[in-house]
Structures are given as C-alpha cells and as structure tokens.
Chain A
C-alpha cells in the first residue's frame, strides 16, 4: 500500500491528464466502506444475538439458529463479526487520526520551513521508516499492555511517517505557488500562511492519506491481536481469530466458519479503504492520475 505512494512522490510522471472521476475502483471502495460502516452503526439491529451472551453450546457448527456457528464459549460468531466491525473500524479510524495528525503537522512544518527544521524532521521520518515496524510494535505493545487505547497509540505512532513524507512534498510544491510567495513577500506571519493557505491545500491529500493509514491500521491491529498483544476482551476481528487459533479451530474443521469469515472481512475492509484512498488520491493529486 504505502510503497505506491512513496514512488508517487519521488518519481515525476508525464501522463495524459484525465477527467476528475472516481472510477470503478473508487466506487467499489466506497461501497465496501458504506457497507461496513453501516454494519457497525446498525449492529444492534442486524446482529441476531448479543455477542457477549453464551447463546448456544460451545463449538457448535452452523445451523439455522447460528448461521456461522458458535465460538468456544457458545457465543454466536455472526453476531461477534457484526459487532466486531465497530471495534476494528474504530481502531482503524482512531489510529489513523493519530497518524495523520502527527503526519500532517510534521510534513507541513518540514515542507514549509525547510532548512534544518526540515532536515531534522525528515531524519526522524527516515528513522521510523527504516526500523522494521512489526518487531517494534510487538516490543512496545508488550510494554504498554494490551488495551484498546494503547493499541491505537502504538499503531498511530508508527504509521505517521509515510503520510508525513507525502504531505511534505505537497507542501513543497504549494510553497512555490504565486499566492503563497506573495503572502510571504507581504510579510504575513508563518502561522497565518500555514493556516489560511497551506493547510487547505494539504487537507484533501490528508484525507486520502488518512484513509490509506486506516487501511494499514486495520491490518496491523489484526496481526497484533492475533499474536495476543491486542485486547482479547474487545471483540475485534483480530481477536476473534486469536481465539479461533488458540482453541484449535484449524484442527476441527471449525476453521471454515470461524477463521475464513473474519479473515475475509479484514481483507474486505482493508481493500475498501485502500480503493477509496487511491481513488481519492487520484482525484485530488493530479500527478497520480493515469495510474489505473
């Protein structure tokens, strides 16, 4: 995911300009997102049971009562998945917010002020990018402990680097625009210029980066939860997979209804965000048009 954006900002493109359309990819992505967000919001109405309730026998196979069977303590898996949308999306969004906040701030400041500020900040970005992220996250997650907010913080603190880079180059190209030049020549203070001229220009790209970061975050959360470093009492898709694995779903044939669906949902969510993010980027960033 992120490798594509990296090249986007480092390799200049000469391509035929296209109309500003969302395209098939964007539509598909948006549709997926709407479906998932809808499930999250309307979960109490859609889900057949309260997922915290042991509504059936443990390890029950799919039946009319429980379309996806029950988990190890008799809770309905389908309901778990539906409510899981809330947790997984929430973590994705919140981590992305942390990441984008940091990334926008750093990218903007670095791009605008240039000089040693830029050098120092970009060094920080490089440091974060070079370090293998999952081992670092495993390390930190184990330290801070498995809780909902800790995971969000940990993911956010590592995912900000790439958006920072992208936004910085956007700011660099904005900086050379006439009206910004003029404002500076007129002596407007940096904070005013940043607020009124730079940020709006960067905001739309931030949005695209936000969605891509969320996509990343959902995948990372799944891995951390699966490894047992997430919050097992929060029913995210990753923790559903965690229980499926430690309760030997793969051995008993239960994997068909306990493992396949959550993994597919994660993939769909990540795809949905990615498609939407790419489409948005294409629409908003002229340099990327012509990619698909």
Chain B
C-alpha cells in the first residue's frame, strides 16, 4: 500500500509541476498587455518613461526565466502575487472567494452523491421497470443538457418571474446580517446555483451506482441471501449497497475535475463570487497573476481532494488495503 501511495504521490507531483509551468507560460504567451487594466484607456497619454515605470513596478520587464524562478519561489512560500487590477495581494482575493466555491461545490458533491447513490440503488433493484427506464431517461437528459442553459432558465423562471429566489450574488449586498439570518440569506442565494450544479452532477453518480449495483446484484452471494428469505430491505442495504459503494468512491473523486468545471460556468451565470468566476473575469481582463493563481488553486484543490480520496479509499475497501 505504501508503494501505491508513493506512486500516486509522484503522479500528483507531476500534475502539479505541469499545471504550474503551463500556468506560467500560457499567460505570458498571450497577446495583449495588462496595461489597459492598470490604467484604462487613458494610458495612451502616458510617455514612454512613465510606461516603463509602470511595467517595472510590476516586474514585467524582467527576462522570462527570472520571472519563472520568482514565480516558483513565491508559490512555495504561499505568496500568490499582486493583482494588477485590484492592487491587492491575490491570496487575499482568493481567500475571500474560495469559501464560496467550496461551499457550493462541497454541498453539490454531497447532495449529488447522496441522491445518486440512493436513486441508483432503488433503480437497480427494479431493473427494466418503468421507474428504471424513466430514471435513465431523466438522468441522461440532465447529463446532456448545457449547465449554463439550465441555470439561465432557472433564473428566468424562479428568480425573475416567480421571484422565489434572488438573481445574483452570494448574499444581499449592503446588508449586514449575522447568525441565523446570515445563514438563511446565504442559503437563499445558494439555492439556484446549488440546484443547477447538483442536477448536472447526479446523473454520473446515478449511472455508476446503478451499474455497480447491477453487478453486485448478479453475484452469487446475493442470490444466496434472497434464497435465505431475507427481507428485500436487508438484502439491498446490508449486502448489496455496501459492496456497490466501493467503485462509487473512486468515481466520486473523479467527479471533482468535472465539478470544478461545472462550478466555473455556474458561478459565471449566477454572478456567484467564487473562484471559478474569478478565473473567468481575470482571463477577460488579462490579469496575469490572478489567472495563474486561480488556476493553480483550482488544480491544487482537485489534487488535494484526490489525495484525500486515495488515503481514505483503502480504509473503505479492504481489498485495496491488503493488495499491491
């Protein structure tokens, strides 16, 4: 098991290195200068000396390799740099935004897994029935539907027309709330984006769980349990589901890259102030340091979750614990 973990460790280190280097190179290779977003269109009136001044104060005049070394060093010490646009340390900006994304993604993951598992289990038991086919149809529909389209329709119907939910943001702006009122306000704003993200994540989990359950249900020991006359409930939950959950766990973790992507689009559509939306805005504004930092954080988060999964998985699945 140690070798397994070490192997995984190498893999993740490689991923990190690749992401970090890609991060650094791509923005540097992009056409367009960040000057406009430092200085607006009036930058045209600056003299050459003043422009160089600005460039130097932001480190853009150094040779590429020097910038890279500085970049790596900064990452290691947790310094994610300064945002050109906002003139603030990026770690501050990300620290403000990351909790929102974690909240959204975490809850969506939880909800989508729970619902997917339960639904998949129930459907597998009733394979071939109308319930099964209907479920398959619905889940395929939601997996094929563009998430932004779903989000905009939710906004149009539930927020704009019916006024049941707010249209944008994570909290009502300008109002200071505390305690239960703040939690409730946050939840109210979270409802639609969470619903959208969950709806598009459930199908993947549902299908896997169903498939996994079908496999397990075909096994000999299940037939034995049924023959023994055990109640349907017991057979499902005590025997089948627990075994069916095992491959599920890996899949849930594979979901993370997908959910991080989904969250980016959904945060944009709902104007939800998370890290995904920060990336999108930064790319549009050519805010180099923010692009790098945000992408880095997103990748690190996904890797961290994967590491967690790899550490926890042997605890769940005894077969892996003792295998190579």
Report A's interface with B, CB cutoff 8 A.
1, 3-4, 6-8, 10-11, 13-16, 123, 126-127, 129-136, 138-140, 142-143, 215, 219, 222-223, 226-227, 238, 241, 245, 250-251, 255, 259-260, 262-263, 266-268, 270-271, 274-275, 290-292
Given A139-B26, A143-B29: A15 and B218 within 8 A (CB)?
A: yes
Contact A219 B208, CB 8 Å, known A123-B11, A138-B264, A251-B160: no
Give chain B's interface residues, CB within 8 Å of chain A. 11-12, 14-15, 18-19, 26-27, 29-30, 136, 140-141, 143-150, 152-153, 155-156, 160, 204, 207-208, 211-212, 214-215, 218-219, 247, 250-251, 254-258, 260-262, 264-265, 268, 276, 279-280, 283-284, 291, 294-295, 298-299, 302-303, 306
Chain A residues within 8 Å of B11, by CB: 123, 126-127
Known A-B contacts A133-B261, A140-B26, A290-B214; the reply to A250 vs B14 at CB < 8 A is no
CB–CB A223/B148 < 8 A: yes
Check if B146 sits within 8 Å of A13, measured CB to CB: no
CB distance from A19 to the nearest CB of B (A): 16
Q: Which chain A residue lies CB-closest to B283?
A: A142
Q: How far is the CB of B5 from chain A (nearest CB, A)?
A: 15
In the bound complex, do residue A226 and residue B148 qualify as a contact, i.e. CB atoms below 8 Å apart? Answer: yes
Which chain B residues lie closer than 8 Å to A10 at the CB level?
A: 247, 250
Contact A250 B144 (CB under 8 A): no
Distance in Å: Cβ of A103 to nearest Cβ of chain B: 17
Establish whether residues A7 and B144, one from each chain, have CB atoms under 8 Å apart when the complex forms: no
Q: Which of A139, A238, A255, A275 contacts B156 (CB 8 A)?
A: A255
The residues of A that contact B256 with a CB separation of less than 8 Å are 132
Q: A7-B211, A219-B146 are contacts. A129–B160 as well, Cβ < 8 Å?
A: no
CA distance A114 to B219 in the complex (A): 32
9 contacts between A and B (CB under 8 A): A4-B211, A6-B251, A127-B11, A130-B299, A135-B298, A139-B291, A241-B149, A245-B152, A291-B211
Contact in complex: A263, B15 (CB < 8 Å): no
Nearest-neighbor residue (CB-CB) of A126 within chain B: B11
From B144, B150, B207, A4 is in contact (CB under 8 Å) with: B207
Chain A residues within 8 Å of B147, by CB: 223
Measured CB to CB, the closest approach of chain A to B13, in angstroms, equals 11
Q: In whole angstroms, how far apart are the Cα atoms of A274 and B142 in the complex?
A: 12
Q: With A and B bound together, what is the CA distance between A251 and B157 in angstroms? A: 10
Q: Is there contact, CB below 8 Å, between B257 and A267?
A: no
Instruction: Among A132, A215, A271, point to the contact of B298 (Cβ < 8 A).
Output: A132
A130 and B276 contacting across the interface, CB-CB below 8 Å: no
The main secondary structure of chain B at its interface with chain A is helix
Across the interface, name the chain B residue whose C-beta is closest to A130: B15
State whether A139 touches B303 (Cβ < 8 A): no
Which of A14, A126, A291 makes the CB contact (< 8 A) with B219? A14
A140-B26, A222-B148 known, 8 other contacts, Cβ within 8 Å: A15-B218, A127-B11, A131-B19, A132-B261, A138-B264, A139-B26, A222-B146, A267-B141
Q: Which residues of B contact A290 (CB under 8 A)?
A: 214, 218
Once A255-B153, A266-B149 are accepted as A-B contacts, the answer to whether A3 and B140 lie under 8 Å apart by CB is no
A240 to B251, CA, bound (A): 34
Contact assessment for B26 and A223 in the assembled complex, using a CB-CB cutoff below 8 Å: no
Inter-chain CA distance A6–B280, complex, in Å, is: 29
Q: From the candidates A139, A268, A291, name the one contacting B283 in the complex (CB within 8 A).
A: A139
Closest chain B CB from A211 CB (angstroms): 13
**Distance of A260 Cα from B251 Cα, bound (Å):** 32
B254 cross-chain contacts in A, Cβ below 8 A? 3, 6, 129
The answer to whether A259 and B265 touch across the interface, beta carbons within 8 angstroms, is no
* Known interface pairs A7-B208, A131-B15; A223-B146 also in contact (CB < 8 Å): yes
Chain A residues with CB below 8 A from B29, complex form: 143
- Which partner residue on chain B sits nearest A275 by CB separation? B140
A253 → B minimal CB distance (Å): 9
Q: Are B26 and A11 in contact (CB under 8 A)?
A: no
Q: Once the chains are docked, how many angstroms separate the CA of A253 from the CA of B212? A: 44
Within 8 Å by CB of B260, from A126, A127, A135, A142, lies: A135
Residues of A within 8 A of B155 (CB): 250
> In the complex, what's the smallest C-beta–C-beta distance from A281 to chain B, in angstroms?
13
CB distance from B15 to the nearest CB of A (A): 5
Say which residue of B153, B212, B261 sits within 8 Å of A7 (CB atoms): B212
Contact check, B265 vs A134: say whether CB atoms are below 8 A apart.
Answer: yes
| Residues A11 and B146 in contact, CB atoms below 8 Å apart | no
Residues of B within 8 A of A275 (CB): 140
Q: Enumerate the 7 nearest inter-chain pairs by beta-carbon distance, A residue then B residue, closest first.
A: A134-B261, A270-B144, A132-B260, A263-B149, A250-B156, A3-B204, A142-B283
Query: Given A7-B251, A135-B264, A143-B29, A123 and B211 touching (CB < 8 A)?
Result: no
- Cross-chain contact A266 with B264 (CB below 8 angstroms): no
**B26 touches which one: A134, A143, A262 (CB < 8 A)?**
A143
Give which listed residue, B144, B146, B260, B261, contacts A271 with CB less than 8 A.
B144
Separation in Å of the B155 CB from the closest CB of chain A? 7
